[in-house]
Chains A and B, each alone.
Chain A
Amino acid sequence: AQSVTQLDSQVPVFEEAPVELRCNYSSSVSVYLFWYVQYPNQGLQLLLKYLSGSTLVESINGFEAEFNKSQTSFHLRKPSVHISDTAEYFCAVSSPNDYKLSFGAGTTVTVRA
């Protein structure tokens, strides 16, 4: 089974500053990678996904993540955060023949004015 490590449990950041959330996964022949966001007292929402093709994937609200096979990483970045980006972010991984997702422990992003 795949495993996922999110290297930072808490990331405080000032509004309009950049942010990077780090995610590493255990190696496999091929993987599918996801970032989910959870706003306070809500369920998880899909932020972006990598299935194949371009290694740089983007979301509609300015986040991007890059699949790096050699480093088994899928870090999430945003060049300028807003107060509304305060949330918990989860990295998840699956494989083509696996029905399941494996989640990291989560990174809490707190954006301050």
Chain B
Amino acid sequence: NAGVTQTPKFRVLKTGQSMTLLCAQDMNHEYMYWYRQDPGMGLRLIHYSVGEGTTAKGEVPDGYNVSRLKKQNFLLGLESAAPSQTSVYFCASRTTSGWAQYFGPGTRLTVL
């Protein structure tokens, strides 16, 4: 039981490049989330999903897209990376009634 895993762990992009971050969970959780963490700002929600095939915008969705084609996977895409997207990205998941979210180890992204 690996819990929540994220791929890759580190990535450096140039401005304008695109990439996809993968989140996978093996706990059969319905809800999944993508956050970004910046110093002094806590965690801010980018997008979330309440089930396979559904997605919704969070607090800071601009510049990001997501897809949830399979229940266990939640993908975060950056179509044209900007330096302002330099951050640590965390994925999380939870059950429908459990309320507590379980987090992955994070992806550190640098955009030059």
Which residues in A have some Cβ–Cβ distance to B below 8 Å? 4, 9, 32, 34, 36, 42-46, 49, 51, 90, 94, 99-101, 103-106
Contacts and interface: CB of A to CB of B under 8 A. Distances in A.
A105 B103 CA distance: 17
B99 to A, nearest CB: 5
A56 to B, nearest CB: 18
B103 A99 contact: no
Contacts of B103: 36, 43-45
7 contacts: A36-B103, A42-B105, A42-B106, A43-B90, A49-B99, A49-B100, A100-B45
B19 interface: no
Interface string B90-103: 10100000011111
Contacts of A36: 103
B104 interface: yes
A95 to B, nearest CB: 10
B31 interface: yes
Nearest to A106: B42
